[in-house]
Each structure stands twice: as structure tokens, then as C-alpha cells.
Structure 1
Amino acid sequence: MEHAPILVHRISPTGGRRVAIRIHGIDTVLGIAHNDADLIEFLRRIDLPDPEELVHGDSAAIAWQGGRPHEYEEREET
């Protein structure tokens, strides 16, 4: 999924994931998402149609890098 236009980067050590959109090979950071609602809001602000469907559906438009989709905090080791 490396060529998806929406990149949700790996979880940061302080929590959250950087979200970027790739247009013509250039990444523009939209913000740091701490949950799916943040991600949906970033996509809504750039006028993408049906941002909820993009996030919650099986969208090839989003590449979740370095972690499971929809997780925004590191898991505690037990």
C-alpha cells in the first residue's frame, strides 16, 4: 500500500500518528491524529468526499504504516 495518497505514519512515542497526503509525489502533513475522528476531520478539511467511508471502509486510499490501522497509542507490554 505504499502508493496510497493518504499516509498514516507509525505511532509516535508520545502518541498519535502523523497524517499526510501525497499529491504529485509531494507529501503534505495534515496534522497529528490521536483517533479516527481526528483523521476524518483532516480529510474533511481538504474536501475529500465521504471521509468516514475512507477511514472506516476497506480503502486502498489510506496506507497505515508501522502499526495496526485505527490504533494511535503504543500497546503496553504485559
Structure 2
Amino acid sequence: MPRAPIVVYPPSDEGRRVRADGEAIGRARDERELREFLRRAGLPDWETADLTDPALVEWRGGGPEVWE
């Protein structure tokens, strides 16, 4: 199975680190900020993308409901 193109790391005081295709693209503090990173990474359906889809997002240290 191919790796997910987006990796979201465990929460920290500064938010969750986000990588797209192996490149660090910032820290998200909530779903809105994560979706902005998806937009910047060129994901065509970033507004409606299923963030629980493991083919799209690999969550480390908690899923999309965990931000702190």
C-alpha cells in the first residue's frame, strides 16, 4: 500500500506538524488550517476531502478530532 501523501504528526503546543509528499509544509492547529495546507499542496478537492481516508492522510498521535 502506498504511503499517504499527507502526514499529520502528534499535537504539540505549536500545533501539529504537517508534511506533504515528504516535505514539511507547516503546523496546523485545527482542521481549517489543515485544509488550507491541502489547498496549498494542490489537492483538488481540499474543501471536501475525507480526512479520515488513510490513502490521503496518515495521522500520528491521534486522528482529526485531536488537536491539543
Structures share fold, TM-score greater than 0.5? yes
* Structure 1: segments with no counterpart, 5+ residues: 74-78
1:47–1:66 Cα change, 3 Å: same
Aligned to 2:43: 48
Aligned residues: 67
Greater radius of gyration (CA): 1
Structure 2 unaligned runs (5+)? Answer: none
**Which residue of 2 is the match for residue 11 of structure 1?**
11
TM-score, normalised by the number of residues in structure 2:
0.80
Richer in helix (by share): 1
Taking structure 1 as the reference length, what is the TM-score of the superposition? 0.72
CA RMSD of aligned residues (A): 2.1
What is the alpha-carbon distance in structure 2 between the residues aligned to residue 10 and residue 57 of structure 1? 15
- Structure that is richer in strand per residue: 1
